[in-house]
């Protein structure tokens, strides 16, 4: 299964001059709709399918959720 962990960096809220959010995700053992490993944060709320090329597909974990796409998916040791 790809890398062990990723740091996903999300943009701050537009117009709010907010800092970027960084969320660390680890493999879940699941496979996403594109056939790549699914990663999640400790709460299980942030879930993302990450390809071996670093492409990220955010996965909704609840109804009416519209996940934002991260700016960067950085591999961690």
Give the structural domain span for 66: 5-76
Residue predicted with more confidence, 29 or 70: 29
Distance CA 46, CA 23 (A): 8
Cross-strand bridge partners of residue 75: 6
For the chain, the domain total comes to 1
Distance CA 6, CA 20 (A): 16
* Cα of 6 vs its chain's centroid, Å: 8
What tens digit of pLDDT does each residue of 40-73 get?
999 999 999 999 998 999 998 887 777 778 888 9
**pLDDT value at residue 1:** 45
**pLDDT value at residue 43:** 93
Over 60: is that where the pLDDT of 38 sits? yes
What tens digit of pLDDT does each residue of 3-24 get?
589 999 988 776 667 778 899 9
């Amino acid at each position: 299964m790809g890398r062990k962990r990723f740091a996903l960096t999300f943009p701050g809220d537009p117009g709010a001059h907010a800092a970027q959010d960084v969320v660390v995700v680890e493999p879940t053992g699941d496979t996403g709709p594109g056939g790549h490993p699914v990663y999640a944060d400790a709460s299980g709320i942030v879930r993302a399918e990450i390809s071996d090329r670093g492409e990220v597909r955010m996965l909704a974990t609840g109804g009416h959720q519209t996940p934002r796409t991260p700016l960067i998916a950085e591999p961690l040791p």
